Amino acid sequence: MTKKLLTGIFMLVAVLTTMVSCNEKEIQGQEQQDQQLVSYVLKVQIPDGWDNANLKNAKAVFTNVQTGNKVEVSSFELKDGQYVGMAKLTPAAYNVNFTADASYKTNNQNFNSSVRYAQEGFKVSGGATNNELLIIPELYNAQNGFVISEICVAQTLSSANKPYSFGAYIIVTNNSNDTLYADSLALLQSADLSNLPHEYKDKTPMEQNFFAGSVYTLPGKGNDYPVAPGKSFTIALNAKNHQPLGNGPDLSKADFEIYDYLTGRITDEDNVNVPNLKTWFKKSATISIFHTAGVEAFALARMRQDSTTIAEHSAYKAVYEFKHGTFKRDMTQTGYLIPNSWVIDAVCLGMKNEYKWSVISSTLDAGFTYCLEAYGDKNAYGTSVIRRFENGKYVDTNNSSNDFLPRQKASLIKN
């Protein structure tokens, strides 16, 4: 055997020995890692009030806070009314995100919506057993982007020191990075007032729906009103120049206005150069109004049913008990139940010192914002609430106490 051949054999043996050693270390390392993994049973609870609920495309993502590594779970089975999955995680802190497509029935109507759940800093400890994570998802609209960036409903003060109430407006902004279309977007006005609490006998419908007294929709067939990223449009209660009348805003060039087609002694002004919203329902018996004390909630929504269907299936009489001393009597508040999943953005208004309750679900708005501190507040004339703007975007945490600057000078009032 030649020296050259013998050298080659020794080299081959050395390589094979190294490979075996490395494989053994990898196997040992994998075994150690598997021993460190902690099993968690994921239980997805169906929200109360949902009948015949079904989840599809369910996925839970655990993101390691320190390393950024992700563990995904996309296999869930329905067991005893819950969707159950399994996650194996190394001990660490994780941010948890769960998403799914849901179909369900509530209020005798069928709906399809997206649901999600999020939790930050979920800690996984080594050696723990019988671990469970209960996931209670909530509705959300995956195609959001429009936000209410300013609401002006407070009165102005005329040069004759008289309150003027007709210069109200709402500004809506595209807060996304894409061009969106405002066509058929709905403006909702709450049926209830945040300074007049009601103890409803059945709270569930209010928690799952926006209880609307008025519903207005923008015109358009789908692509008539494009809104570029960062751009806004204004909805005027009355599209005219209010500056000469009450030192108010000039709304004569607003993008849209609310116009009431009325007959008889009471009539509404129509700016023929400004497109009118379509009035589906309104809580005022005559001309549409916004409460000048700022005690209503407003929302943007994408309506998934026509006005006839909503009038037939979503009209609702909420019952509450009125009490005064020893006198008690059942009263009703009428409105329309608009599912929370249709709502893109919502803002609850209240007077700072007279705020008694939230007239919408906390999942839509966990707080409130204000112009008036109380009735008779003379420092609130000409003010509005303006959404905070940070890092090139409007802040949107579904909490108006955090998202809005209260008691600001209305941006469209120039004097």
| Position 328 confidence tier, pLDDT thresholds 50, 70, 90 | confident
Q: Per-residue pLDDT averaged across 278-304, rounded?
A: 94
Contact 81, 240 (CB under 8 A): no
Count of Cβ atoms closer than 10 Å to residue 305 Cβ: 16
Work out the average pLDDT over 157-167: 93
Which residues, other chains included, contact 333 with Cβ-Cβ below 8 Å and sequence gap of 6+? 191, 192, 198, 211, 317, 318, 320
pLDDT at 287 over 80: yes
Check residues 52 and 345 and name the one with the higher pLDDT.
345
pLDDT value at residue 50:
79
> Average model confidence (pLDDT) for the chain?
87
Average pLDDT (169-196) is 95
Average pLDDT over residues 84-96: 93
Contact (Cβ atoms closer than 8 angstroms) between residue 194 and residue 358: yes
pLDDT at 263 over 70: no
Tokens describing residue 151: 């609401």
Phi and psi based region of residue 3 (left: phi greater than 0; alpha: psi -120 to 50; beta: remaining):
alpha
Dump the DSSP string for 367-403: S-B-S-SSTT-TT-TTEEEEE-EETTEE--SS-HHHH
Q: Would the pTM of this model clear 0.75, i.e. be above it? A: no
Q: Would you place residue 34 in the very low, low, confident or very high pLDDT band (cuts 50, 70, 90)?
A: very low
Least confident range of 6-15, 100-109, 137-146, 179-188 = 6-15
Segment 342-367 mean pLDDT: 94
pLDDT in tens, 213-256: 999 999 998 889 999 999 999 999 999 999 998 999 999 999 99
Q: Give the Cβ contact number of residue 55 at 10 Å.
A: 17
Give residue 139's pLDDT: 65
Q: Is 249 helix (H, G, I), strand (E, B) or coil?
A: coil
> Is the model's pLDDT at 25 over the cut of 50?
no
Plot region of 247 (φ>0 → left; ψ -120 to 50 → alpha; else → beta): left
